[in-house]
Amino acid sequence: MKKAIFLDVDGTLIDYETKTPASAKEAVDLARKNGHRVYICTGCSKAEILQRDLPELDGMIGANGGYVEHEGKTIMHKSFSREQIMHIVSWCQKRNLGIVLECNSGRYYDDAMLEQGPNAYVRYMHGKNTGAKTDEAAQKKRIQEMFIYAQGEDLYREDVNKVSFVLSDYQDHLDSKTEFPDMIANTWGGKGEAAIFGDLSPAGITKRAAIEKVLDVLHMTKEDAISFGDAKIDLSMFECCGFNVAMGNGGAEVKEAADYITTDVNDDGIMNAFRYLELI
């Protein structure tokens, strides 16, 4: 029986240093040769994914479900209105919270993000116990090289899939839920899924809804779907897939909900699970 496989990216298909283990690439290639369909299902937007060294795939779900691509064609895309982005940008600027506007065309950052982002990303890397030797200078350079600077009116875009912002305190996230009741508010961060960043997505956007869209296109059912994840946000994938795999490096909640726990991302986690499931 052919399966549709949905892989989270950071901490699942790739490690927290954005490197894809050779065994994971091999596993994906072999599964596709066996006729299975393999998709990534991630919070990242397309521009960020294009900067990653990933294996060949059948498509992608990005922006936590806001963008869906199948065989090179866009089958769903939901972004914020310009008015909504103006509201978000204004709110973050009043609170002096650095922002990143995540679009398919790129990741756009403001002055506050260049000031706050390096420290936040260092805390993220250290919290995930990557072992990577990184510092704020290196992270500042990464932002400047891989993101796009914007200010003023240039921040009021109409193609934003998701907005991430640096949290000065967890209260910022709680306040964002109150300020934007018509949006989906999440947090993401380091060890134990600590809240380092907040993010906002348009209403109705979930990984679950996006997976169901792909399954509809493939004429497959929940029983044909397998999901892989490492974090709490991946639980919406688990709700619509017949079998669910947690990475060994995953958080407690995702492990408790999983049907199977594989090894860590850098300990052949994808390859071992694909073999266990007899996909390869």
Asked whether the predicted pLDDT for residue 112 surpasses 60, the reply is yes
Can you give the CATH number for the domain in which 62 is found? 3.40.50.1000
Give residue 193's pLDDT.
62
Asked whether the predicted pLDDT for residue 48 surpasses 60, the reply is yes
- Can you list the pairs that 81-85 forms with residues at least 24 positions away whose Cβ atoms lie under 8 Å? 81/158, 82/156, 82/157, 82/158, 84/183, 84/202, 85/155, 85/156, 85/157, 85/158, 85/160, 85/163
Q: Please check whether residues 196 and 133 belong to one and the same domain.
A: yes
Give residue 206's pLDDT.
87
Q: Please check whether residues 120 and 222 belong to one and the same domain.
A: no
**Which pair of structure tokens corresponds to residue 222?**
């929940």
Q: Please check whether residues 131 and 33 belong to one and the same domain.
A: no
Q: Please check whether residues 121 and 43 belong to one and the same domain.
A: no
Q: Please check whether residues 91 and 193 belong to one and the same domain.
A: yes
pLDDT tens readout for residues 158-199: 999 999 999 999 999 999 999 999 999 988 875 556 789 999
Range picked from 23-32, 129-138, 198-207 for highest mean pLDDT = 23-32
Q: Please check whether residues 198 and 108 belong to one and the same domain.
A: yes
Which among 202, 224, 258 is the end of a domain?
202
Can you give the CATH number for the domain in which 130 is found? 3.30.1240.10
**Cα–Cα distance for residue pair 238/226, rounded to 1 Å:** 8
Strand ranges (DSSP E) for the chain? 4-7, 37-41, 59-62, 67-70, 73-77, 99-103, 106-109, 148-149, 160-166, 183-188, 197-202, 225-229, 243-246, 260-261
Instruction: Count the domains in the chain.
Output: 2
Q: Please check whether residues 131 and 160 belong to one and the same domain.
A: yes
For the residues 110-133, what does the mean pLDDT come to?
83
The model's confidence at residue 43, banded by pLDDT at 50, 70 and 90, is: confident
The model's confidence at residue 126, banded by pLDDT at 50, 70 and 90, is: confident
Which among 160, 181, 202 is the end of a domain?
202
**Cα–Cα distance for residue pair 187/6, rounded to 1 Å:** 22
CB distance 3 to 226 below 8 Å: yes
pLDDT tens readout for residues 204-219: 888 899 999 999 999 9
DSSP one-letter code for 63: G
Handedness of CA 187, 230, 64, 115 (dihedral sign): positive
Q: Please check whether residues 103 and 154 belong to one and the same domain.
A: yes
Give residue 125's pLDDT.
80
Asked whether the predicted pLDDT for residue 18 surpasses 70, the reply is yes
Which among 177, 202, 227 is the end of a domain?
202
The model's confidence at residue 67, banded by pLDDT at 50, 70 and 90, is: very high
Q: Please check whether residues 23 and 128 belong to one and the same domain.
A: no
Q: Please check whether residues 35 and 117 belong to one and the same domain.
A: no
Q: Please check whether residues 194 and 100 belong to one and the same domain.
A: yes
**Residue-range definition of the domain harbouring residue 9:** 4-78+205-276
Asked whether the predicted pLDDT for residue 131 surpasses 60, the reply is no
Q: Please check whether residues 89 and 166 belong to one and the same domain.
A: yes
Q: Which residues pair with 166 in a beta bridge?
A: 197
